[in-house]
Amino acid sequence: MEEKVSEIVQGYGGDKSYLVPIMQDVQKEFGYLSRDALTAISANLGVPISRVYEVATFYKAFSLKPKGRHHISLCMGTACHVRGAELISGNITDMLKIKDGETSADMEYSFETVGCLGACALGPIIVADGEYHGEMNIAKTTKLLKKLGKKV
Q: Is residue 32 part of a domain?
A: yes
For 126, residues 6+ apart whose C-beta sits below 8 A from its C-beta are: 72, 73, 74, 75, 88, 132, 133, 136, 141, 144
Q: Could you tell me if 143 and 77 lie in one domain?
A: yes
Q: What is the mean pLDDT of residues 128-140?
A: 95
Q: Does 40 lie in the same domain as 95? A: no
Residues 53 and 87 in one domain: no
Would you place residue 132 in the very low, low, confident or very high pLDDT band (cuts 50, 70, 90)? very high
- By C-alpha distance, which of 90, 77, 91, 74 is closest to 126? 74
Q: Are residues 27 and 47 in the same domain?
A: yes
Inter-axis angle of helices 138-147 and 85-96, to 10 degrees?
40
pLDDT bucket at 152, cuts 50 / 70 / 90: low
Residues 46 and 107 in one domain: no
Average pLDDT over the chain reads 94
Print the domain residue range for 134: 70-147
Looking at the structure, tell me whether residues 83 and 142 fall in a common domain: yes
Assess whether 53 and 75 both reside in one domain.
no
User: Is the domain of 90 the same as that of 118?
Assistant: yes
Q: For residue 50, is it within any domain?
A: yes
Does residue 74 share a domain with residue 143? yes
Same structural domain, 80 and 140: yes
Read off the pLDDT of residues 48-91 as tens digits, 9 standing for 90 and up.
999 999 999 998 789 998 889 999 999 999 999 999 999 999 99
- The mean per-residue pLDDT over the stretch 4-11 comes to 96
Q: Are 125 and 114 in contact (CB under 8 A)?
A: no
- Is 114 part of any domain? yes
Q: How many domains does the chain have?
A: 2
Residue 63 domain flag: no
Decide which of 33, 58, 83 is a domain's last residue.
58
Q: Is 6 within 8 Å of 42 (Cβ atoms)?
A: no
